[in-house]
Amino acid sequence: MIPSPPPRHRLPLAPAPLSWQDEPGTAGASPGPGFWAVTRHADALRVLQDPATYSSRPGPGELPFLGRLLSHQDPPQHTRLRDHAARALTPERVRRFTETARERARTLLSRALDTARATDGILDLATAVSDPYTALNLADLLGVPHADRRRLPRWNGPHALADMTGYAPHLIVHRRRYPDDDLTTVLAHNARLASDELEMLVPLLLTTGLAPMRDAAAGGLAVLAQHPEAYRELRDGGAELDPAVEELLRLHPPLLTIRRTAATDTELSGHRVRRGDEVVVSLTAANHDERVFTAPDRLDPARTPNPHLSLGAGPHLCLGADFARLQLRVLYAEVLRALPELRLAGPVLPSGSGVTNGVTSLPVRAG
Ligand code: HEM
């Protein structure tokens, strides 16, 4: 996950288009400075597309060290680093993953189905399929050696960024010595990246690529399991997968909010926002804005256009968006092939901090 904003930015369910949220503090959390909650799609775009006014630099209460990460920088510093990363993560490199991802999804599904059929007939699509699928895809993309992959589950907890920052130099040294067809190899051989830049870029990719991807995959499958008619439509070819991937991302944004800090005094939705104020975009609210989405609560697998904000917008638009979409498309296609019906066999267990939005368990019937 993106290592900010902190979980204190939990938003009320239906706030006004722009509202000031006090943070009085609770038994578990100390008081905060408060923040502006942005819920309209148009305002969200204004904030996300204007880094000169709404800065990504670490906000109050965030560790200044985060400012060394690409995700927490503003142009022009951000632009340079992002260009290096984007040039390594080319559409061609992403496309080459299709077969590996498909093979992986098939193997994980058939193993989980075999085990379920030999036992109680139930498989957990999150823990047995989508979690390992997304983690191993990322390990491939970044060239994490097989011997190190047992560390992957630990890279999802609260210490993920610290763990990965500790691990990244080993991975970089390894890929300098044993180059392969992966992102770390490309970045580690880019002479224009300073070593401290590289040592922040690799752990950032490891964190940003892991948790939101895992949460999008399990979350999308959970939404599908709760909409059997949409599942059948997709299975029978009555709806295309590409727009369905977008619609599932709209209804299940793995990151619920995006934080910025006002860099100057400004005006938003008729309110005066002061320099230094925190501004928090609610992706759930923006993705349900009736001015943009007809019948926003409805799952419409063919919804087009679908300008949801689950992958962000503006200069920080998710760098792994193509890779994320590819993984989701392949996974959904393989689940649709392996399971004619997606029948829940127990409660879907959500996980999340108020900022992250995942699913820890998704039990379904094997047949
Ligand atoms: C469906 C899965 C994913 C979702 C929902 C997601 C969501 C997001 C969002 C909302 C942002 C923008 C944050 C902001 O504006 O502050 C972002 C940025 C980013 N994402 Fe993703 N992401 C996903 C998968 C990935 C993957 C697989 C990778 C890497 C392979 C990745 C790498 C990044 C990076 C490096 C950034 C920072 C870009 C920048 O600051 O310029 N993401 N992601």
22 within some domain: no
User: Is the CB of residue 313 below 6 angstroms from any atom belonging to ligand 1?
Assistant: no
CATH number, domain of 266, equals 1.10.630.10
User: Is the CB of residue 280 below 6 angstroms from any atom belonging to ligand 1?
Assistant: no
The pLDDT of residue 188 is 97
| Residue 176 CA, ligand 1 centroid: distance in Å | 26
| Residue 257 CA, ligand 1 centroid: distance in Å | 12
Give, using CA atoms, the residue closest to atom 43 of ligand 1: 318
The pLDDT of residue 14 is 52
Count of Cβ atoms closer than 10 Å to residue 76 Cβ: 8
Hey, which of 87, 131, 249, 319 would you mutate to test ligand 1's pocket, going by the most ligand atoms within 8 Å of its Cβ?
319
- State the closest ligand 1 atom to the C-alpha of 137, by its place in the atom list counted from 1: 27
**209: nearest Cα among 143, 297, 303:** 143
27 within some domain: no
16 within some domain: no
User: Is the CB of residue 2 below 6 angstroms from any atom belonging to ligand 1?
Assistant: yes
Residue 71 has pLDDT above 90, yes or no: yes
19 within some domain: no
Give, using CA atoms, the residue closest to atom 15 of ligand 1: 316
| Residue 318 CA, ligand 1 centroid: distance in Å | 4
The pLDDT of residue 2 is 34
| Tally of structural domains, the chain | 1
Assign 6 a pLDDT band (cuts: 50, 70, 90). very low
Hey, which of 318, 329, 359 would you mutate to test ligand 1's pocket, going by the most ligand atoms within 8 Å of its Cβ?
318
pTM of the model: 0.95
93 within some domain: yes
103 within some domain: yes
User: Domain residues for 347?
Assistant: 32-365
User: Is the CB of residue 205 below 6 angstroms from any atom belonging to ligand 1?
Assistant: yes
pLDDT digits (tens, 9 = 90+) for 293-339: 999 999 999 999 999 999 999 999 999 999 999 999 999 999 999 99
pLDDT digits (tens, 9 = 90+) for 177-224: 999 999 999 999 999 999 999 999 999 999 899 999 999 999 999 999
74 within some domain: yes
